[in-house]
Structure 1
Amino acid sequence: MADLVLKTARKAFDLFAEGWATGNFEPYIALLADEMTFWFPTGAHRGKFEGATGRQKMIAKCQDHVAAGDRLTLHPPQHILTDGDSVMFEFEADGLYADEPYKGHNAIAFEVKADKIVGFREYFGDLGA
């Protein structure tokens, strides 16, 4: 079970990173469960959302980044922490965000059930570009 959780979370991280780099989040979105928890700390998507609304908010966040032309490189994780069904990736990212250069230190936690993402939590700090 632990191997499947880590494998699924790693796939989600890699597809999420690919979405940021290319603007195509569809492969990542395909990994999301029909109902999930989405937690984001700031901006238009700030809050904690559950169920189908959580999934809708996660998708909206991805679509908004595509529409804005945001492009980031999510660098290989510096740390990967696991606890049961939760896997957290700590990494640096840089690129263009909100029409400004961005460089940040980020952590994203995925909750996994079977082979789907049922939870997403993101934490970040801007390191200055």
Structure 2
Amino acid sequence: MSQSLIRAVIPEGWPKPIGYANGIVTDGPLVHVGGQIGWRTDHTFPDTFLGQVGQALANVLAVVEAAGGGADTIVRLTWYVTDIEAYRTSLSELGPVYRAVMGRNFPAMALVQVVSLVEVEAMVEIEAVAAVPVAA
């Protein structure tokens, strides 16, 4: 994490969370990334849940990078999935997919199942907030 911009919050007596943060304090401009689905720039989708997760995360990161940040500046992710069992049954494979894009940055996160997403083929949509460095 960019320590000058971001600090994880852990209430006294709580165990350190694994794979996410309970809260994040930021000191820098915030970028609010609209929901990114797992499609490529040509609007085609990977066939698998994990493929779509990796692409959705890459799409989030592309927006953050365009704003001057990186994976380590992302402080919040909200995941919307159409099949919670696909998420639950792929947890062991999900870690490497996540880390390939996000590294070891584990922001505050929420994940919810939704009935459907706007794009029929979409299995996941991810929103983000990042604290980016002030432009020089």
TM value normalised by structure 1: 0.27
Structure having greater relative contact order (Cα 8 Å, sep ≥ 6): 2
Larger radius of gyration between Structure 1 and Structure 2:
2
Indicate the structure with greater strand content.
1
